[in-house]
Structure 1
Amino acid sequence: MKVAVLSPIAWRTPPEKYGPWEQVASNLVEGLVEKSIDVTLFATGTSITNAKLAHVTDKGYAENPAIDPKVWESLHISNLMEQAGNFDVIHNHFDFLPLTYSRLIKTPMLTTIHGFSSTRILPVYRKYNPDNYYVSISNSDRHPDLDYIATVYNGIHPDEFTFQKNASDYLLFFGRIHPEKGTYESIQIAKQSGRKLIISGLVQDQDYFNEKVKPFLNDDDIVYVGNSGPKERDQLMGEAYALLHPISFEEPFGLSVAESMMCGTPVIAFNLGSMSELIEDGKTGFLVNTIEEAVTAVGNIASIDRKSCRKAALSKFSREKMTESYLQVYHQILNG
């Protein structure tokens, strides 16, 4: 079986820091290589992989402002499509745009839908649904207008996340600094809990950061440490008392939730989107609806067994589990 995996090119695959779609694509590719699958990764030239690598640009457009995103995305996608006949399956992690090529090639294409950035992209998914195979990353993120071949949870490499039996006393916010991710709410939860909060993530909304986050920052109880890479992430998550995830949107998955649990760190999340699929309330964390409920949950974190968090993450969100699930989907597609 020859598989082409199309990764985004905002960042390299895997990303040095932020880049969840690139991270998932990387985890899958390396998992497939370990199973002796012939894989070609279409990504940036700076990408790191044990598979074959095909690229049209060295750096991603988020890392190189000199290149135009639309131009290089077009060149990147067409580079794969012009070679489509060399593969048995194309696995698209690039959202809706590659679907517009699907009726021009014979190779079947599987698209992992990493959430819907807007309802305005749905016409493309609807149009090409009869000719394509869609995978959702959680059951909660399935759109009623679309047909899916499977739900496959994102997988992470357990070796990249160290289990920490004993935690420190700080709370952690880890993710995009954006209103929908709840950085401000995390600050309020920490303050009302009387605990230190460490904030790590890419500033995606500068005005929000300036108005809702920056005024609270100090070198004492509310600390921003920037956009952390894998080593810093492992330490921050592993030593945290709990991860705070007070989202205000229907999040399709939440990679940091799985990563935190892989370190043994429980998660307190607002019960929206996929959170009830990722977190077992009272066992691997707490599902809450308000800041007040989250504060209460912080007081109950000691009742969570950190080994249970690691065990749950291994069983549901490992790279091995994701790879096996996608291989089953590939065989299902090829066997008709």
Structure 2
Amino acid sequence: MTLPGRPLRVAMLAPIAWRVPPRHYGPWERVVSLLTEELVRQGAQVTLFATADSLTAAALSATAPHGYEERPDASGAGPDGAALDVKVEEALHLGSLFRQAGQFDVIHNHADFLPLSYAALVGTPMLTTIHGFSGPGILPAYRAAPGNTFVSISDSDRHPDLTYAATIHHGLDLSELTFNPRGGPHLIFFGRMHPDKGAADAIRIARATGRRLLLAGIIQDHAYFEREVRPHLGADVQYLGSVGPAERDRLLGGALALLHPIHFDEPFGLSMTEAMACGTPVIAYRRGSVPEVVGADGGYVIPEGNEAAAVRAVHAAVTFDRSGARARVERLFTARRMARQYLREYHHLLDRLADTQGSRPAAPRQLTRSQVTS
């Protein structure tokens, strides 16, 4: 559908766990930022619904002052000093967007399943990017929303019970990631400190190669970190905490390889594309999206748990063609490509709505206050 005489108006709904873009951790928020800024560059009129401290070239609409995961006091506080529940903050965030729904052509939901329950109450069509499933318990919310449009972030992350309009891989702003043709001698692990991500496996692999390992990421499972990671820290294994974009560029580009020995079905894995953008090969277990993202030119995909194969891959990485990894990202994983694919899906969504109604969609209606708060 061609909108007469004006740009496409997009409501971009971000989660409010972290700022957009995140200061360090926050993969969903990072993708929202990359997409929002590129859509603005490509001429869309975007309003970003995110935390008030978010940074964007789009219009910003906010109810939460900052991300609830970034508060020093986990309970938070409202204007009257009373503690705010996270679900209350999310309800206020969603209510603000859906009260304004009539101002937009498309709502793009990155905030998981909860907005699906509001979508049928407004005329503005909604596209939902499914960034991954926290567990089977949330699937009923998706099954109960057959009129919604779903986009997967990898072919491997598609659930058989759902119908998808497209798979759109995440894209990067390559100006933020410097190609390093030489790399360095150390290895790097970049991810949550959690059994799923395999930090303990990375330590064993690195030690078997005799190479220094740098670990970066938030501590999500404290018991796992204390049991499996902390006892091994020292000169050859260092934990750097959760690092921001500038340090991420330096660390990834200066590594011989990124170790990604995961034990879960990775929905996408931004750190893999970021490493490849720097020229650093990925050494990862074959789970979820890993073969799809890494391919044959981005690193080494090995059977899960095969640490001997991972050690051999580290030795092979010395002669790896780092330019091939960068070229793969330039071809498949740029923010520009991601934004163009989403723009196409927005217009397909509007075309389908026009076909269903037999004409151009009527002006979207807005929720009343009673509908939002009931």
> TM above 0.5, one fold?
yes
- Distance, in Å, in 1 between the alignment partners of 2:326 and 2:18 is 29
TM-score by structure 1 length? Answer: 0.98
CA distance in structure 2 between the aligned counterparts of 1:165 and 1:226, rounded to whole angstroms? 26
| Paired residue secondary structure (2:12) | strand
1:253 paired to 2:260: no
Instruction: Say whether the 8 Å CA contact 1:172–1:198 is kept in structure 2.
Output: yes
Q: 1:37 corresponds to which residue?
A: 44
Deviations along 1:16-69, whole A, 9 cap, x unmatched? Answer: 000000000000000000011100000000000000000001111111221421
Q: 1:221 aligns with which of 193, 218, 236?
A: 236
Indicate yes or no: 2:213 matched with 1:206: no
Following TM superposition, by how much is the alpha carbon of 1:280 offset from its aligned partner in structure 2, in angstroms? Answer: 1.9
Tell me the residue number matched to 1:288: 302
Q: Distance in 1 between the 2:147 and 2:96 partners? A: 21
Q: Deviations over 1:88-126 (max 9, x none)?
A: 000000000000001111100000000100010000000
Q: Distance in 1 between matches of 2:142 and 2:255?
A: 40
Please name the residue that 1:23 is paired with: 30
CA deviations on 1:142-200 (whole Å, 9 max, x unpaired) are: 00000000000011110010110111100000011110001000000000111100001
What corresponds to 1:69 in structure 2? 86
User: Percent identity at matched positions?
Assistant: 50
In the alignment, which residue of structure 1 is the partner of 2:364?
none
Contact 1:61 1:68 in 2 (8 A): no
Give the aligned CA root-mean-square deviation in angstroms. 0.7
Structure-2 residue corresponding to 1:312: 328
> Could you report, residue by residue, the CA deviation over 1:178-226 in whole angstroms, capped at 9, with x for unpaired residues?
10001000000000111100001100010000000000001x1101111
**What CA distance in whole angstroms lies between the structure 2 residues aligned with 1:70 and 1:127?**
21
- Per the alignment, residue 58 of structure 2 pairs with 51
Give 3-state SS (helix, strand or coil) of 2:162's partner.
coil
> Which range is displaced more, 294-303 or 49-58?
294-303
Q: Secondary structure at the match of 1:116?
A: coil
Count of residues in Structure 1 that have an aligned counterpart in Structure 2 = 333
Q: Pick from 131, 136, 159 the counterpart of residue 152 of structure 2.
A: 136
Q: Secondary structure at the match of 1:135?
A: strand
Q: Which residue of 2 aligns with 1:180?
A: 196
1:240 paired to 2:240: no
Q: Which structure is richer in relative contact order (CA contacts within 8 A, separation 6 or more)?
A: 2
Q: What is the alpha-carbon distance in structure 2 between the residues aligned to residue 144 and residue 207 of structure 1?
A: 34
**1:156 maps to what in 2?**
172
The residue that corresponds to 2:113 in the other structure is 96
Q: Report the secondary structure of 1:5's partner residue.
A: strand
Match of 2:347 in 1: 331
Counterpart contact for 1:45–1:55, Cα < 8 Å:
yes
CA distance in 1, matches of 2:113, 2:241: 31
How far residue 303 of structure 1 moved from its aligned partner, in angstroms, is 3.4
Structure 1 residue 302: Cα displacement: 2.5
Give the partner amino acid of 1:25.
V
CA contact (8 A) 1:102 1:131 kept: no
Q: Give the match for residue 96 of structure 2.
A: 79
TM-score, with length taken from structure 2: 0.88
Structure 2: unaligned runs, 5 residues or longer: 1-7, 77-83, 353-374
